[in-house]
């Protein structure tokens, strides 16, 4: 992705080196079940997480970033700026105003309106404060653990979390969630729609001529690598569909590609889709 020398977002909050609490497990879009409680108005997600993790103290020591971390922090700021431009335009076309989210950079663990969580949950979005949270060490995880290298793989991750913000602004979950679904099933539909919205952003990034050859493939590789079935088969040798919270590799790639092909909000109603 062509990003150097381009506009970076001013909506970045750097909390690196200021940790607190203890980490809990998860994955991309981690703590989603707690976030669903918050989105659906079923309780205080922060209280739930804090009861599980406890609160810690923050360090006042300044964080010393490496040259690679500086490059990566600038990159994610540019990607965030691109999402701001794209979603501002899309919302404007529909007579709405896009509220820009804040991207929080942290190390090890962080406190959000959804509670205290650690970097092991992966990047996540908290609807309680309209902020995205990411430990930049996840980039190494993408390359090494998930075998999904490339800058656009990381761009997909940022765009996916911004997709959750778009869901919040549009009220997708509250308006579209069908009854009779388990929390896991609702979580899968939520995550796949965020993948679709990430694809919508990528469509417009392509129109801006900032994509390099192979970028789309990098994003699709990342989407496949974080599919529930892929992760479970690597960890235990088999998959348990009933436990899925994010969707299969095939589903995640297909919904991202669908958003990439259409470039519009329409077509992303995963909540009523007969085929996920």
The residue-averaged pLDDT of 135-160 equals 95
pLDDT of residue 56: 44
Q: Which of 168, 230, 211 is nearest to 28 (CA)?
A: 230
- Closest-CA residue to 15 (of 50, 65, 83, 68): 65
CA distance 276 to 272: 9
Closest to 8 measured CA to CA, from 70, 56, 62: 70
Confidence category of residue 227, pLDDT binned at 50, 70, 90: very high
Q: Which residue has the tokens 């979005």?
A: 125
CA distances from 257 to 109, 163, 184, 245 (A): 32, 14, 23, 20
pLDDT at 50: 45
109 beta partners: 118
Q: Which long-range contacts (CB under 8 A, 24 or more apart) does 202-209 make?
A: 202/155, 202/156, 202/159, 202/256, 202/259, 202/260, 203/259, 203/260, 203/261, 203/262, 203/263, 204/86, 204/89, 204/263, 205/1, 205/82, 205/86, 205/155, 206/260, 207/263, 208/82, 209/2
User: Quick one: which of 117, 189, 115, 202 has its CA closest to 157?
Assistant: 202
* CA pair distance 174, 77, nearest whole angstrom: 30
What are the residues whose beta carbons fall under 8 Å from the beta carbon of 234, sequence distance 6 or more?
A: none
Q: Please report which confidence band the pLDDT of residue 64 belongs to, taking 50, 70 and 90 as the band edges.
A: confident
Q: Specify the pLDDT at position 63.
A: 81
**Mean of the pLDDT values across residues 71-86?**
97
- Region 46-52: what's the mean pLDDT? 43
Nearest to 39 by CA among 187, 225, 140: 187
pTM, 2 dp: 0.85
Q: How do strand 102-105 and strand 12-14 relate by DSSP bridges?
A: parallel
Cβ contact 16:63 at 8 Å: yes
Q: What is the mean pLDDT of residues 104-117?
A: 94
**pLDDT at residue 228, rounded to an integer:** 95
């Amino acid at each position: 992705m062509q990003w150097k020398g381009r506009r970076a977002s001013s909506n970045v909050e750097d909390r690196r080196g200021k940790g607190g609490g203890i980490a809990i497990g998860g994955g991309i879009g981690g703590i989603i079940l707690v976030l669903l409680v918050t989105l659906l108005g079923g309780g205080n997600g922060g209280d739930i997480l804090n009861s599980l993790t406890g609160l810690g103290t923050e360090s006042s020591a300044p964080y010393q970033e490496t040259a690679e971390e500086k490059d990566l922090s600038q990159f994610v700021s540019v990607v965030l700026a691109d999402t701001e431009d794209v979603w501002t335009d899309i919302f404007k076309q529909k007579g709405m105003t896009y509220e820009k989210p804040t991207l929080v950079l942290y190390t090890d663990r962080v406190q959000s309106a959804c509670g205290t969580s650690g970097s092991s949950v992966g990047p996540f979005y908290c609807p309680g404060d309209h902020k995205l949270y990411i430990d930049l060490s996840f980039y190494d995880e993408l390359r090494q653990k998930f075998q999904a290298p490339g800058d656009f793989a990381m761009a997909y991750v940022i765009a996916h979390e911004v997709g959750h913000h778009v869901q919040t602004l549009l009220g997708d979950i509250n308006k579209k969630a069908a009854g009779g679904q388990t929390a896991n099933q609702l979580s899968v539909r939520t995550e796949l729609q965020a993948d679709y919205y990430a694809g919508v952003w990528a469509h417009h990034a392509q129109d801006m001529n900032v994509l390099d050859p192979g970028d789309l493939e990098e994003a699709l590789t990342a989407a496949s690598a974080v599919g529930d079935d892929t992760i479970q088969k690597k960890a235990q040798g088999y998959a348990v569909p009933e436990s899925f919270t994010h969707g299969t590799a095939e589903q995640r790639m297909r919904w991202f590609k669908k958003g990439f092909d259409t470039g519009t909000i329409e077509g992303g109603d995963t909540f009523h889709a007969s085929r996920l």
